[in-house]
Structure 1
Amino acid sequence: MVETKLYIARHGKTMFNTIGRAQGWSDTPLTELGEQGIKELGLGLRLAEIPFKAAYSSDSGRTIQTMEIILRETHNEHLPYKRDKRIREWCFGSLDGGYDGELFFGVLPRTKAFEGGKTVKDVTYPELAQSIVEVDTAGWAESWEVLSERIWAGFTAIAEEMEASGGGNAIIVSHGMTINTFLWLIDNNREKLSLDNGSISAVSFKDGKFTIEAIGDMSYRQAGQELLEK
Structure 2
Amino acid sequence: MPERLYLIRHGRTAWNAEGRIQGWADVPLDDVGREQARRLAERLRARPPELILCSPLWRAYETARILAAVWEVPIEVDERLKERGQGPFEGRTGVEVAALQQAWREMERDPTAEIAGVEPRAAFAERVWAAMEAAMARPERTLAVVAHGGTFSMFFRQWLGLPLDRPSPFRFDNASLTELALRDGRWIVVTLNDTCHLTDL
TM-score of the pair, normalised by structure 2: 0.84
2:40 counterpart SS class? helix
Structure 2 runs not aligned, ≥5 long: none
Aligned-residue offset at 1:5: 2.0
Aligned to 2:158: 185
Cα contact 2:177–2:192 (8 A) shared by 1: yes
| Structure 2 counterparts to residues 92-103 of structure 1, below 5 A | 92-103=86-97
Aligned-residue offset at 1:87: 0.7
Aligned-residue offset at 1:76: 2.1
Aligned-residue offset at 1:58: 0.3
What fraction of aligned residue pairs are identical, expressed as a percent?
25
Quick one: distance in 1 between partners of 2:2 and 2:76? 21
Quick one: distance in 1 between partners of 2:63 and 2:35? 10
- 2:184 paired with 1:203: no
| Structure 2 counterparts to residues 81-120 of structure 1, below 5 A | 81-103=75-97, 105-108=98-101, 110-111=102-103
Aligned-residue offset at 1:196: 1.1
What are the superposed Cα offsets for residues 119-149 of structure 1, whole Å, 9 maximum, x if unpaired?
xxxxxx9636556x3xx3xx22222221100
Q: 1:42 to 1:83 in 2, by over 3 A?
A: same
Cα contact 1:22–1:97 (8 A) shared by 2: yes
2:6 counterpart SS class? strand
Cα contact 2:64–2:75 (8 A) shared by 1: no
Aligned-residue offset at 1:25: 0.3
Aligned to 1:66: 63
Aligned to 1:140: 117
Quick one: distance in 1 between partners of 2:170 and 2:40? 20
What are the superposed Cα offsets for residues 104-125 of structure 1, whole Å, 9 maximum, x if unpaired?
x4423x25957xxxxxxxxxx9
What are the superposed Cα offsets for residues 37-69 of structure 1, whole Å, 9 maximum, x if unpaired?
1111111111xx224111110001111100111
Quick one: distance in 2 between partners of 1:198 and 1:84? 19
Query: For the pair shown, which has the larger CA radius of gyration, 1 or 2?
Result: 1
What are the superposed Cα offsets for residues 177-226 of structure 1, whole Å, 9 maximum, x if unpaired?
1111111111145971322101011223589964433220113445xx69
Cα contact 2:48–2:71 (8 A) shared by 1: no
* Alignment: residue pair count: 197
TM-score of the pair, normalised by structure 1: 0.74
1:215 counterpart SS class? strand
Cα contact 1:186–1:210 (8 A) shared by 2: no
Name the amino acid aligned to 1:76: W
2:158 counterpart SS class? helix
RMSD between superposed Cα atoms in Å:
2.8
1:27 counterpart SS class? coil
